[in-house]
Structure 1
């Protein structure tokens, strides 16, 4: 998959590295701001009580 992505990105090495960095940051932001908050209520460790 990574080889396929690397071959599909346009430009030389510096531009490809920049594009990979931007893609990584975009996926990370999507996970932290959309996916993780959406799935948090479904996780079993939300209701923790300590006696």
Structure 2
């Protein structure tokens, strides 16, 4: 998969490196903004074991 992405990025090697870093940062940003918010209600980490 990474090879496929690398072959389809335009430009010389330095431009491909910059584009791949930008793509990776965009994926991380999308996960933090939308992905993890959608997944959070289904994770057991929100359940505390100490009652008030």
TM-score (norm 2): 0.87
Runs of 4+ in structure 1 deviating by more than 3 angstroms, as ranges, are none
Gap regions ≥5 residues in structure 2: none
Q: Point out which structure has higher relative CO (alpha carbons under 8 A, 6+ apart).
A: 2
TM-score (norm 1): 0.89
* Number of aligned residue pairs: 51
Gap regions ≥5 residues in structure 1: none
Cα RMSD, aligned residues only: 1.2
